[in-house]
């Protein structure tokens, strides 16, 4: 979750405008025939099969992937084994995290690619910040309508207070120092990085681990629509990676029917298993499409036996609840943010204390089960491979 204070003050006015912007209606999601489209299985068979998919969500795998990305356990990428200290944009640690994600997705037989670039931005007169970014994008092709896309995304980068490039600039630090660390590249990177500790367990190793595990499960099934798994860089620097991705879409943006952005899924301190679906104000042109996505999630809770495990809260976006979904909102693409209860947000986000040990894994797993069922419905399940 983007909470950088310096950049927050700079971009907040633009964000306020985007929260209620009226966007192009050509991106409206089409859910009208979701229940009636002729498929290769009956509706009853589809529900039963998706139930099996939901039931296969594994707490141990979610814990494993989250632990690796947050530095609790070692991670292997290429020829290197390391324990990540952070996933700060531009760092060697981030590069290794991105490589781990790429290789994981590739091992599932998905089409995978990097999307890399550099963005320079003048934030105040006389001060320009250079933002490198490296997104990881994978896709499961749809069967009958591969041109229609459901995006499942999360931001891969982490930060802690004072460690962003904007903070570095304002602190008269050399932001370029974030581009490298001193590490033993002989095969094992001791400690993963010499940079500051920013594990980002909840923010956002949980979201990334969820996308990885769902890719692992969904890749075994077939869907009418394509499912695109996106891991965005530099969300903590101001949605740099997701903005670059959306800008690269061009006319293909019209084919994106729903975006499910995951950010912070593992904190539950009050024992009330609520999670939130964040949408725009009702002035937005894609507001109704966002509400349709929300209703798919509500049906998933009831259809797949999760009513006693979790409760959905529908929340209208505010400045504190902005993540990469805003890049899609700005382009008029229907998107929602899925996150833990907004009334019980993790107080350790963007701090060194955002550690794996603070996560509620049972709650986290139940939330991912709902997301899995909803994505399967949105992508329109057809049959198992």
3-state SS track over 222-287? EECEEEEEEEECCCCCCCHHHHHHHHHHHHHHHHEEEEEEECCCCCCCCCCCEEEEEECCCCCCCH
pLDDT of residue 42: 63
Q: Tens of pLDDT along 356-367?
A: 999 999 999 999
Q: Is 221 helix (H, G, I), strand (E, B) or coil?
A: strand
Count of beta carbons in the 10 Å neighbourhood of residue 140 = 25
pLDDT for the residue 109: 97
Is it the case that residue 303 has pLDDT exceeding 60?
A: yes
The pair of three-digit structure tokens given for residue 366, joined into one six-digit string: 């139940």
Instruction: For residues 360 and 217, give the distance between their C-alpha atoms in angstroms, rounded to a whole number.
Output: 22
Tokens of 252: 């293909």
pLDDT of residue 153: 98
Q: Counting beta carbons within 10 angstroms of the beta carbon of residue 125, is it exposed (0 to 12), middle (13 to 18) or buried (19 or more)?
A: exposed
Mean pLDDT is lowest, of 77-81, 230-234, 239-243, 316-320, for 316-320
Contact criterion met (CB below 8 Å) for 328 and 285: no
Mean pLDDT over 268-275 rounds to: 95
Kindly report, residue by residue over 157-212, the tens digit of the pLDDT.
Answer: 999 875 666 555 555 544 444 444 433 333 333 333 345 789 999 999 999 999 99
8 or 354, which is more confident? 354
- As a whole number, the mean pLDDT across the chain is 85
How is residue 78 annotated by DSSP? Answer: T
* Percent of the chain residues topping a pLDDT of 70: 78
Higher pLDDT, 15 or 164: 164
pLDDT of residue 173: 45
**Sign of the torsion formed by the C-alpha atoms of 341, 28, 207 and 129:** negative
Pair of tokens at residue 309: 């495990």
pLDDT at 30: 54
What's the token pair of residue 169? 């600039």
Report the topology of domain 5-75+96-117+132-161+196-384: Aminopeptidase (3.40.630)
Cβ atoms 217, 57 nearer than 8 A: yes
**Angle subtended at Cα 77 by Cα 76 and Cα 83, rounded to the nearest 5 degrees:** 50
What pLDDT does 13 receive?
Answer: 42
Q: What is the pLDDT of residue 151?
A: 98
112-169 residue pLDDT tens:
999 999 988 777 777 788 889 999 999 999 999 999 999 999 999 999 875 666 555 5
Residue 305 pLDDT exceeds 60: yes
Judging by beta carbons within 10 Å of its beta carbon (0-12, 13-18, 19+), is residue 62 exposed, middle or buried? buried
Report the pLDDT value the prediction gives residue 93, as an integer from 0 to 100. 95
Q: In what order do the strands lie in the sheet with 145-155?
A: 111-124, 127-140, 225-232, 145-155, 256-262, 335-340, 274-279, 311-316
The closest alpha carbon to 371, from 215, 246, 172, belongs to 215
């Amino acid at each position: 979750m983007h909470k950088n204070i310096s950049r927050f003050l700079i971009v907040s006015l633009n964000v306020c405008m985007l929260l209620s912007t009226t966007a192009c209606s050509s991106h409206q999601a089409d859910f009208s025939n979701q229940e009636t489209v002729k498929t290769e299985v009956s509706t009853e068979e589809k529900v039963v099969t998706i139930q099996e998919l939901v039931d296969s969500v594994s707490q141990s795998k979610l814990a494993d992937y989250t632990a690796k990305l947050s530095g609790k356990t070692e991670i292997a990428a290429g020829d290197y084994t390391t324990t990540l200290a952070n996933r700060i944009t531009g760092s060697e640690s981030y590069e290794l995290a991105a490589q781990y994600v790429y290789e994981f997705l590739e091992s599932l037989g998905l089409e995978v690619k990097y999307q890399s670039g550099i963005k320079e931005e003048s934030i105040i007169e006389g001060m320009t910040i250079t933002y490198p970014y490296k997104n990881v994008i994978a896709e499961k092709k749809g069967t009958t309508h591969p041109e229609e896309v459901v995006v499942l995304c999360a931001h891969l980068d982490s930060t802690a207070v004072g460690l962003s490039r904007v903070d570095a600039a304002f602190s008269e630090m050399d932001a370029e120092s974030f581009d490298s660390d001193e590490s033993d590249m002989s095969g094992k990177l001791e400690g993963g990085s010499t940079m500051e500790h920013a594990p980002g367990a909840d923010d956002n190793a949980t979201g990334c681990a969820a996308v990885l595990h769902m890719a692992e499960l969904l890749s075994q099934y077939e869907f009418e629509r394509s499912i695109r798994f996106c891991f965005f860089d530099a969300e903590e620097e101001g949605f740099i990676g997701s903005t670059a991705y959306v800008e690269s879409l061009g006319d293909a943006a019209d084919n994106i029917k729903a975006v499910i952005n995951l950010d912070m899924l593992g904190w539950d301190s009050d024992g009330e298993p609520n999670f939130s679906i964040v949408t725009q104000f009702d002035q937005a042109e894609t507001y109704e499409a966002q509400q349709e996505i929300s209703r798919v999630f509500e049906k998933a809770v009831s259809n797949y036996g999760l009513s006693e495990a979790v409760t959905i809260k529908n929340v209208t976006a505010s400045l504190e609840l902005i993540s990469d979904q805003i890049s899609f909102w700005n382009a008029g693409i229907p998107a929602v943010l899925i996150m833990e209860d907004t009334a019980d947000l993790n107080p350790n986000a963007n701090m060194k204390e955002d550690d794996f040990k603070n996560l509620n894994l049972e709650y986290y797993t139940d939330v991912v089960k709902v997301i899995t069922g909803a994505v399967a419905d949105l992508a329109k399940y057809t049959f198992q491979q």
